[in-house]
Amino acid sequence: MGADTDDRFLAVDSIEFADDPHPMFDRLRAEAPVVRDPIGWSTLDYETSSQAFADRALTPGIDHVLETKGIEPLWGVVGRTLTDSEGDDHRRLRRVVGPWFNARRVEALRERVRTLSTEIIDELD
């Protein structure tokens, strides 16, 4: 059975998903913690996602997956971003950006993000 007709396929490009993704997530999560999606696999629950992130056999990031499908990497060169690197490269990048994402700085941005989000949503109405 093809991915587009598989009941355990996360069809993120479907009208059903665009209208309201929650029913699809709920249905799939009840069936399996890992499902196919248009570019590979998705984990659907916290426990499975945590295990996947901790599993060194799995390669992090999405750019390398997109590149194998002929899609240009999202952020430029594969393996040069925090989300698409591992080992020493990942640790080096985390040290650089980490101070900008501590709890105090994130809290300081909360109201600005809320304001911008509200403005964007209001423009859509």
The model's pLDDT over 45-66, given as tens digits with 9 standing for 90+, comes to 999 999 988 887 776 666 667 7
Over the range 69-99, which residues count as b (16 or more CB within 10 Å of their CB) and which as e? eeeebeeeebeebbebbeeeebeebeeeeee
Distance CA 21, CA 14 (A): 9
Distance CA 20, CA 12 (A): 10
Paired tokens of 4: 């587009």
The model's pLDDT over 84-111, given as tens digits with 9 standing for 90+, comes to 777 788 889 999 999 998 999 999 999 9
pLDDT at 80 over 80: no
Q: Quick one: pLDDT band at residue 25, thresholds 50, 70, 90?
A: very high
- Taking the CB of residue 29, how many other CB atoms lie within 10 A of it? 14
| pTM of structure | 0.53
* Averaged pLDDT for residues 56-77: 69
pLDDT at 1 over 50: no
Angle 32-62-20 from CA coordinates, rounded to 5° = 50
Q: Quick one: pLDDT band at residue 3, thresholds 50, 70, 90?
A: very low
